[in-house]
Amino acid sequence: MANVLLGATGSVAAVRVPALFDSLTAAGHSVKIVATTAATYFFDPTEFRASAVLVLDENEWPGREAGERYHRGDSVLHIELRKWADIFVIAPLDANTLAKLAVGLCDNCLTCVWRAWDVARPVVLAPAMNTLMWQHSFTRRHLRSIAADAGAGHIPAHLADDALIQQINDRSPTLRVVAPVSKQLACGDVGVGALAEVADVVNAIQFMLGRAQVA
């Protein structure tokens, strides 16, 4: 079984984080959650804090509120998480964080893990956002950029969404994108953008872990 680092961002679909955590732990994996501040609006972080599996931005600076300061030799949390994890999963991945990943912005613990991630190790991304956000040209541009960094090479810009994701998944040895699905969204709009089913995300994780073992 594997060490799974589950990233959670500020999509309404973060309500599914507890279900993802339960499914992964039921499969025998050790799971830690690194969540953005926005993500915790959609699930109760207190249910994870007792078991010390939830990492928030403030955990990067222990004792800061009491006036404590970093000392040489102290651990750097986002690096420790990178070392611990066998696979990095971001589910849900909102539009804001997708843009940050694509350009290398690292202004919170989750994106610092991403920037420090060993590109030879597996990643699963499961986007979830409003339909028009998903259909925006920036979204396709950002996915293509991330895929290129993950070894997929040049992917044509004209591809439809399904073909784009298929090419990313076929051509990158370390990246798998779990496409969002069409349904009525939390905002009331109907269209593509909802997080894939928990089982589909878990299956993608298992697939990438299996691929990493073969490699």
CA 210 remoteness from chain centre = 19
Q: Is the peptide bond before 92 cis (omega within 30 degrees of 0)?
A: yes
Q: If DSSP codes are grouped into helix, strand and coil, which group holds residue 28?
A: coil
Which one of 29, 78, 109, 142 is the catalytic residue? 78
Q: Establish whether 112 is a catalytic residue.
A: no
Q: Which two tokens stand for residue 153?
A: 């090479």
Which one of 29, 109, 158, 187 is the catalytic residue? 187
Largest CA distance in the chain: 53
- In this structure, which amino acid lies at residue 200? D
Q: Establish whether 106 is a catalytic residue.
A: no
Q: Which two tokens stand for residue 136?
A: 């925006």
Q: Which two tokens stand for residue 120?
A: 């030879």
- Active site residue ranges: 78, 187
